[in-house]
Structures are given as structure tokens and as C-alpha cells.
Amino acid sequence: MGGETEIKFEKIDECRWMIPRSGGMRVPGIIYADEKMMAHIRTDKSPQQVANVAHLPGIVKYSLAMPDIHWGYGFPIGGVAATETDGGVISPGGVGYDINCGCRLMTSTLSLDEVRPRIKELVSGLFRNVPSGVGSRGKLKLARSEERKMLLTGARWAVENGYGRPEDLEATEEGGFMPGADPDVVSERAYERGKDQLGTLGSGNHFLEVGYVDEIHRPDLAEKWGLWLNQIVVTIHSGSRGFGYQICDDSLQVMTREYGRLGIELPDKQLACAYINSAVGREYLGAMACAVNYAYTNRQVLMQWTRESFEQVFKRSAEDLGMDLVYDLGHNVARREKHDVDGREVELCVHRKGAARAFPPGHDRLPQKYRDTGQPVLIPGDMGTHSFLLVGTRKALDETFGSTCHGAGRMMSRKQAMKTAQGRSIAADLAAKGIFVLSASQATLAEEMPAAYKRIEDVVGVVDRAGISKKVARFAPIGVVKG
């Protein structure tokens, strides 16, 4: 990473720290964190990346980072930046390799007492029915013509082909579909990598988790969203698999050649970018939208197979089991949105990399069913720890382009985690806590061990106190499927 300078921090309040403009920074940087978290963040390379992002042409207001910030490719993970659509740039490093990686939360009518005695049977069924692991191949084999339809319509394709219900789409961000997808700009290599991976969980930090509601912070919203104490819920965390990875890789190769030719000066070549309205910029956006739609479809299919797994174990229909979708929310996406900048409503391209939307009540981009409550925001913990459901706020819209954190955020690299876990059975450690885990790889369990991540309570505590999203409920796991 080039262009490194000494990063200075100015404390704004208990939850925000500013990196003042210096050198070629066009805007200041702001990191959401408390004193405790800043002690670690200061030792990481990610604040330098926050400053580097502030050099992007067309960036407005701030280069932002959420409390789950850690070092990433170009942008920090947890980074948020908005650029003007007229004269600004799009940077694949501000979206990430796993395009539209995200989470969906499902409810049920089952209680903890009903499910805990059968958790091994249930997790084993999920492990059989939901392909997982590095390079895992799914049960769906689409002809190219059908694959193109899926890339153009997203989760709508899944529902139309029997994977779920129409009401699932209303509970999915943007209806499970991003417009502007262009299958013609996707490389043959991306098609090849993606053709067998639709309907797969993947590896790394992806998971399928059976948990229960163990705390409720907003009884009014919990009731409206169908949640109650000791209720069994399911979280699915996955993305666009090798298809999205290849699209990112292809685009970075093109943009790394292009941005220098255009005279764009950047402190780090990993921020390679193109003007949004250029041919290269439009091609990336068209390919990215394909990957966004692939990921929505992937999670929709995974949810259908999850429903079927519950049906097999409990001998009741998914409808009878109340297996409804609360919300599906992506966290590696760039979107065109309208935001207030210096008193003017401006169309911006909002990059959220390892950050999630948190829109408030009344926002016109929310599904009608959430228009009066604000948007559900699902924040998954790392394997074996709590997860949280939050709600979006007006303050987020004013301060962070309607954004909040997306998870716990790593404290250790995967290599460090493997070294720390040496000689231990992570599955046995989790079993001792009452959590049954099945994984395609023991190495993945070690890489994703809870100690490798920040405490989810600390991360969520910052965004809650800062007011950019507010706690609604907390979930505790009892069964996990890992890649």
C-alpha cells in the first residue's frame, strides 16, 4: 500500500474520530469507534485506507468507517464513501470481491425447548441439503439462457421457479433485484466459475445458523416483525461466490490500467477506479449488478432448502412452521441513491464495503411493510457468538449516507487464527457452550474461531450509542453450518 503518512486523530465525541484533511485528501475521514476499540484500530493499516479513500475524485462529505473496520483491499472493510455520479468515480475496491455478500433472517413458530433436543438432527439435515465449503457445487445446473434471465431479474427468478414465495421479495432489500445488469459484459471466466455455485453457502465467514431470541430491546418493533423471546430464528450469510469474485478481479485489471491513463492520482493502486459515466465505469456497474442479482438469488435458493430441511425434521410445512423472511440485507454493494449534500438533494454512488444500509422510517426506498418502522438491519456475529437485529435511523441518513456496521470485524488474520487455534478443537469448544457445528473443513473452523473477531457487543454498542442504528433484538446460536 503506497502513500502512507502519519495518521492524526481528533476525537469528535465518544463514538467518532476525525482524520483531518491533509495532502491530497478531498474530504476528512471519520471513524466510528470508542476509546477501547480505537486502541486496536490505531495499530491497524485501516485508518491509512480511510485517508486514502478520501482522495477519490468526486467524493463528498467524508470518507467513513464503521466500528467493525479492518484492513481490506483498497477500501477498509467497514468503509463507506459516496461519490457524485456526475464527475465522480466508481472503485471496485469500495465494493469488494464478494459482491453483495449479505444476510437474511428467518423467523419460526418453534421455541428453544422444541428445537434444542433435535439440533444435531436439524444441523445434519441442513449440512446435507445446503452445499458448503471451498469450491462447493450446487444442485442447480442452468443453461446459459436461463442463467442470463437470473442475472437480469435476481431473486425474482428464484421465486418464479419455485424457490420461495412472492412475499419473500417484499422482505428483501430492493426487492431482491438491482437494475442495470448487463450479462454481455461478464467474462467467460466469471460464467464458468459461477455456473455450478448457485445455491451454495461457500466458505470463509459464510454460515447458516440456527439460533434463538435471547434479548429484546424494542418490544414494539420485535412484535411487529414477528419476534419473541426463546423463538427459533435462522440466519443465512453468503454472497455471489466465485462469480462475483471474478467480476471484481476482471474489473480491477482493467481499471488499474485505465486510471493512470486518465490522469487520476491515487495514493494506492488498489483504489483503481473509473469515472461512473465512462465506458469502463458503466461496464463495471453492469457486471456488478449481475453479481448483486446472483447473490440475492443464491440466498433465496439457500433459504428454500433451509425451509425444506426444517420440514423434513419437524414433519410440518414451512408455512405451518412460520418460516417467514424478516429481511435480506447486502453489505458489499455500490448503489445510486439520493442524499442531502450541503442542503441540496444530489444523486450519489454510495460504496458500502463491509457496511450495511440503515434507512429510517419513511424512506421511499424501503418496502411498504417497513415504511413506518424503519429498515431492519441484521448484524451477524462471528461463529458461535451473538447476532443482533437493529433498525435504521434518521441520524444514519444525515451522518453516514444511511449506513451502519455489518458484523463483528476481524481482529486476527486467518493465518494468525490458525496459529492460535493449533492443537485445539474449535468444534469441541463450541459444543461445550451448547453450540453444535458442522463444517466442510476443520481449517475453516480455526480461521473463523470467535477469538479472531471483535466482540459483536462492542461493535453494536458503538452504532447504537452513536444513533446510526438502534438495537431491536439479540440472538444466540445453538447450531451452525460452516463451509
Domain chopping of the chain, boundaries: 10-482
pTM, two decimal places: 0.95
Whether 406 sits among the annotated catalytic residues: the reply is: yes
Low-confidence ranges of the chain (pLDDT < 70): 1-5, 410-412, 414, 417, 419-423, 448
Task: Say which DSSP state 380 is in.
Answer: -
| Contact call for residues 470 and 218 (beta carbons, < 8 A) | yes
pLDDT of residue 138: 75
Identify the sign of the CA torsion 252, 70, 437, 293.
negative
Q: How far apart are CA 449 and CA 205, in angstroms?
A: 10
pLDDT of residue 421: 64
- pLDDT of res. 207: 92
Burial environment of residue 49 by CB neighbours within 10 A (0 to 12, 13 to 18, 19 or more): buried
pLDDT at 4: 60
Show the cell assigned to 353. Answer: 464495503
- Burial pattern 268-280, b for ≥16 Cβ within 10 A else e, equals bbbbbbbbbeeeb
Greatest extent of the chain over all pairs of C-alpha atoms, in Å? 64
Instruction: Please report the pLDDT score of residue 39 as a whole number.
Output: 94
What is the reported pLDDT for 483?
Answer: 75
258, three cell numbers: 485505465
Residue 443: predicted pLDDT: 77
Architecture label for domain 10-482: Alpha-Beta Complex (3.90)
Q: CA-to-CA distance for 482 and 133, rounded, in angstroms?
A: 7
133-149, pLDDT tens digit by residue?
A: 777 777 888 899 999 99
Q: At what angle do helices 279-314 and 241-261 cross, to 10 degrees?
A: 170
Q: Concatenated DSSP letters for 222-272? A: HHHTT--TTBEEEEEEE--HHHHHHHHHHHHHHHHHHHHHTT---S-GGG-
CA distances from 99 to 249, 275, 292, 355, 392 (A): 11, 20, 6, 12, 22
Write the CB contacts of 220 (distance below 8 Å, at least 6 apart in sequence): none
Matching residue, cell 467518532: 16
